[in-house]
């Protein structure tokens, strides 16, 4: 039996860590570092750099493990993700079991925040025996996006919808909502919208040294984002991006 602490680490900037997160990492016996393949080696490197910068407890061990690849052959998206989560839970269990010495306090660094479009909590619930789970919140990419562009998330008295590129592509702009935050969009789903009267604020690698920002009318800024996103993905082998769109009501 062990305790599992999920530590939100923001968007990869060590300065995004809270004091609570630093204390939790230093209290851990074991910190798990996932590897996502050579093309995404930067993600593991950043986790290593964060640990090297803030973990001062010599007894804390770091154990790396390879994440399984999601099976793209299954046409059922939800079933595909469900199977993938099962495999990740097995990887966690194996990595913890293989670590030398006691591992009663295990920590996992979570990109962004464990509460928002992250499946770490769902994966943790699959572990057997079930650990005691503690969540240390982190800065979300939504917060980082608004800060980078110096904009408020919402208009006065107005709601905001946080959604995914898949939902935007399949269902379009939801009725009754004038501000959308779109995450997990690998195909620039905004291309399928009527751009007239819409403004966009986009960020790639938000909060990181590689940060790229674009903002303006969707009709002219959208093509710039598509080109910059493709170039950045080629340059780095991966990209994390997020954007906010707002209908111009005034």
93-130 pLDDT per residue, tens: 999 988 877 778 999 999 888 888 888 999 999 998 88
**What kind of fold does domain 142-247 have according to CATH?**
3.30.950
Q: Enumerate the domain spans of the chain.
A: 3-139, 142-247
pLDDT tens, the chain, 250 aa long:
789 999 998 887 888 889 999 999 999 999 999 887 765 667 788 888 889 999 999 999 999 889 888 887 888 888 898 999 999 999 999 999 888 777 789 999 998 888 888 889 999 999 988 899 999 998 899 999 999 999 999 999 999 999 999 999 999 999 999 999 999 999 999 999 999 999 999 999 998 889 999 999 999 999 999 999 999 999 988 898 999 999 986 5
Does the domain at 3-139 match CATH 3.30.2320.20? Answer given as no
User: Cβ distance 30 to 105 under 8 Å?
Assistant: yes
Please give the model's pTM, rounded to 2 decimal places.
Answer: 0.86
């Amino acid at each position: 039996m062990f305790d599992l602490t999920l530590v939100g680490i923001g968007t990869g900037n060590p300065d995004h860590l809270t004091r609570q997160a630093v204390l939790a990492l230093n209290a851990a016996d074991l910190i798990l570092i996932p590897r996502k393949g050579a093309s995404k080696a930067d993600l593991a490197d950043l986790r290593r750099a964060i640990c090297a910068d803030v973990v001062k407890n010599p007894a804390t061990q770091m154990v790396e493990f390879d994440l399984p690849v999601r099976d793209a052959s299954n046409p059922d998206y939800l079933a595909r993700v469900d199977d993938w989560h099962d495999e990740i839970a097995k990887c966690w269990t194996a990595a913890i079991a293989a670590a030398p010495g006691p591992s009663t306090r295990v920590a996992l660094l979570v990109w962004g925040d464990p509460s928002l479009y992250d499946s770490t909590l769902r994966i943790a619930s699959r572990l057997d025996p079930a650990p005691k789970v503690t969540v240390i919140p982190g800065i979300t990419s939504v917060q980082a996006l608004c800060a980078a562009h110096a904009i408020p998330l919402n208009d006065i008295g107005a709601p905001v919808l946080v959604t995914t590129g898949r939902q935007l592509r399949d269902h379009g702009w939801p009725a009754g909502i004038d501000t959308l935050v779109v995450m997990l969009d690998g195909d620039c789903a905004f291309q399928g919208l009527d751009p007239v009267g819409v403004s966009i604020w986009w960020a790639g690698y938000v909060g990181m040294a590689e940060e790229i920002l674009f903002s303006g009318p969707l009709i002219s800024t959208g093509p710039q984002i598509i080109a910059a996103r493709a170039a950045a993905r080629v340059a780095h082998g991966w990209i994390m991006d997020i954007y906010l769109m707002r209908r111009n009501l005034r």
